[in-house]
Amino acid sequence: MSRPGSRAIVIAYDGSEPARGAIEAAAETLEHGTKAYVVTVWEPLNALPFWGAPVGAVPQDLLDNVESEAEKVAAEGAEAATAAGFEAEAVAEEGNPVWRTIVEIAEKHDAGLVVIGSHGRTGLSYVLAGSVATAVMQHAPCSVMVARPPTR
């Protein structure tokens, strides 16, 4: 597959094995040199040990730490994407829900493709955790490539 015109791609990256697999799958499919925004999205309240704590009760240094970690993860993903042949840029954004932020970033950059890894959840874990990949597929302004996790 050639790159999606001259349009950039968005790679959703959370540091997980499926996210690394998504970078690899995109590199195998798309031309080297494609502009890629490697996106890490965080939800500060969901990152807390006691989710749902009142916002005023969240220490600013903890919120700053979550943001800093997200920036590190995005940079790690951009480094991996660059090594795979993309012209990569790290993007770390706060957003809730995560899928909507990924879609908004794709819209902002007029992306021709969103690449996302699947965690392979099924049954009750899918119902409870939801699926970022499914929501992105339903709402993205462009095509979506979902990289499945390797079978064992």
Q: Which long-range contacts (CB under 8 A, 24 or more apart) does 21-24 make?
A: 21/117, 21/147, 21/148, 21/149, 21/150, 22/115, 22/116, 22/117, 22/145, 22/147, 23/77, 23/80, 23/81, 23/84, 23/86, 23/115, 24/84, 24/147
What is the model's pLDDT at position 140? 97
CATH number for the region 9-147 comes to: 3.40.50.620
Is 50 exceeded by the pLDDT of residue 3?
A: no
What is the model's pLDDT at position 106? 98
pLDDT in tens, 41-89: 988 665 555 555 555 566 777 777 888 999 999 999 999 999 999 999 9
The pTM score is: 0.83
